[in-house]
Amino acid sequence: MPDNQENFGLRYPLLDRIRTPDDLKRIPASELEPLAAEIRSYLIEQVRITGGHLASNLGAVELSLAIHRVFRSPHDHIIFDVGHQSYIHKLLTGRREQFPTLRQAGGLSGFPKRCESAYDCFGTGHSSTSLSAALGFAEADRLSGSDAYTVCVLGDGAYTGGMIHEALNNCRKKLRLIIVLNENEMSISKNIGRFAKELSRLRASTGYIRTKNAVSGMLSHIPLVGKRMVASLIGFKQELKGAVYGSNVFENLGLFYLGPADGNDEAAVEKLLTDAKATNQSCIIHLKTKKGKGYPPAEATPDKYHGMPPASATRPEPGQTFSCLMGRKLCALAQKDDKICAITAAMADGTGLLQFRGMFPPRFFDVGIAEEHAVTFAAGLAANGYRPAVAIYSTFLQRSYDNIIHDVALQKLPVVFLIDRAGMNLSDGPTHYGVFDVAFLSQIPNLRLYTPVTRGALETAMDEAFRAGCACAIRYPNGCESPRVLQTFYPDAAPGRIAVRSSLAPADGAPDAVIVTHGRIVTEALAAADLLAAEGRRVGVLLLEQLMPYGDTAAQVAALLPEAACPVLFLEEEVRAGGMGMMLSWALRGYPVMRNKRVDILALEDPFCVPAAGQSCWQAAGLDAAAIAQRLRSALTECKQS
């Protein structure tokens, strides 16, 4: 139970009465507005402590209340896109007592999660997937004869993703599918593009719904001519409505369109949802909400309150995160080269490109939540003489794999991929782990892959990438550089070139074992070396600043390995299959220095692992300093016995 449980009855009397959606249905309509106020107050209080997505949830309070009052979840299916606007849904479905553990190790997920609750019918951690899933639910209900409805709640930012349009193209008219478009003109950065402009002018009338149904029902029972009269009436209605209001994209696709309406007016939303059920066909309800509603700072700057860190989090010095450093370096490069462009997929702030957008607006492109398009668009720019940089989180780069292969690498085009949030990331869970990119990029020819974990290495990697004349990927973690890493691998100055760095000087003598690693997990490798040093065992750590081409990296690693027999542990916080350990150990197999080495790989075996309470991501994955040290102890014992 949370520490402030004793105050719930005093501070949130209406919210205290709700444990299931049935409890919400018993709340009188007159008390819904104060209930919404209580929910907003509770969200602000809790999210400021735990961290999380605040602004999007503050805007979705009334529509969440209305959905759970009109529909019968979990019998009816409710799917949220992208899922970060589902906090109210969680509060209304029996997870209030768990809420203080939101986004904490062993706690409540920040996104819908099937194994967490029967009310979460589908997990949505990436944007623009929900309508395809909802269509699957609705078609399954049609096939089985179920009377369940499927309600798909979409932020308008999701409509900038191509999957939404693919799903819309496949929506049947006669389904129990209701699409709720929550238009707040934001995804994370402000929405852009023609579709966002189209949404801003859509208009439709909703007052005729019940009358239309009643008249259609009456006419259809007239013998011989009734059905033809209904068809004529529908055709006339569409022509009249088109003349008065104009056509819109949803009706052109065969969906019954309702709205726009005030999404922060619970009664209006509830009525529209009820009307949508009465149409007996696939519907879209267009709502306009205020992102950050009820909290003035979030209303004024909703992008700043999209994702909040926990109150207890160690906050980096302003401007010192890798994202910010990348953004400043890219601006410096672009000042010298007017062919450099920057591309983001609705993440200008998160990827550190706000300064670039302000300094070089003609060369800045926000393509919306459309990573596939971002990569092929960059390929087109590169093919026509420009030097595009595509800044994308590692977890979202997965969506553009085919485009990287066929549109960039196959054509040997000089696109630079700036891969943010590389490695395991605790708060958002497995949907946002950046643990697959090394493995899938390692299979692609004509590509260089850099892995800097210091400011100097990041800047040097960017200098090299824009001179390379081929596709380059630079992956870097969330947060800032580690003082321990700087002290160990760069005791004198920042690197002048990308290289393999050693924790041991040649004068130190041969180590008992060697760890070869890259990325921020090098800090765990150094900690493991400290544990073994306390036992009288010397462990050297090799830090890779570049992985691909693996042949080049293998030559540098071989030159730094001791001639004496010893274990060599390849360590990475990414998936094992096809990753650095496999690729680099294979590239090293022909070097004489490897003949007396015991090779081992310690990597992420379960990419969907979830930390228990009190665990770090590395502990949950068995990749923390203690696990590394134990793996080396076993290897040293086996080497001694052999």
The pLDDT averaged over each successive group of 10 residues in the chain (642 residues) is: 43 93 95 95 90 88 96 95 87 92 87 90 86 94 95 84 88 92 63 48 42 53 58 50 54 83 93 92 91 82 74 73 97 98 94 97 94 96 97 96 97 97 86 95 96 95 96 96 93 78 86 96 97 95 97 96 94 96 96 94 94 91 96 88 68
- Quote the pLDDT of residue 192: 47
- Quote the pLDDT of residue 196: 46
- Quote the pLDDT of residue 228: 61
Q: Are 93 and 67 in contact (CB under 8 A)?
A: no
Q: Are 151 and 284 in contact (CB under 8 A)?
A: no
Residues 569 and 632: their CA atoms lie apart, in Å, by: 8
Among residues 371, 524, 572, 573, which one is catalytic?
Answer: 371
Interstrand relation of 546-548 and 447-450 (parallel, antiparallel or unpaired): antiparallel
Residues 3 and 171: their CA atoms lie apart, in Å, by: 47
Question: Among 368, 370, 302, 281, which residue's Cα sits nearest to residue 60?
Answer: 302
End-to-end CA distance of the chain: 54
- Quote the pLDDT of residue 313: 64
371 catalytic per annotation: yes
- Quote the pLDDT of residue 185: 61
Cα-trace Rg, the chain: 28
589 catalytic per annotation: no
Interstrand relation of 566-575 and 340-344 (parallel, antiparallel or unpaired): unpaired
pTM: 0.84
On the 0-12 / 13-18 / 19+ scale of CB atoms within 10 A, 45 is: middle
Interstrand relation of 340-344 and 283-288 (parallel, antiparallel or unpaired): unpaired
Place of tokens 């799917």: 79
- Quote the pLDDT of residue 306: 73
- Quote the pLDDT of residue 314: 66
- Quote the pLDDT of residue 586: 97
Residue 183's SS3 state is strand
Q: 397 — phi, psi (to 5°)?
A: -65, -25
Among residues 399, 421, 448, 597, which one is catalytic?
Answer: 399
Q: Are 22 and 12 in contact (CB under 8 A)?
A: no
Q: Are 347 and 370 in contact (CB under 8 A)?
A: no
- Quote the pLDDT of residue 55: 87
Among residues 176, 291, 363, 455, which one is catalytic?
Answer: 291
Place of tokens 């402000």: 190
| Tokens encoding 111 | 């996104």
290 catalytic per annotation: no
- Quote the pLDDT of residue 305: 73
Instruction: State the Cα angle at 460 between 456 and 464, rounded to 5°.
Output: 170
Q: Which residues contact 31 (CB under 8 A, 6 or more apart)?
A: 14
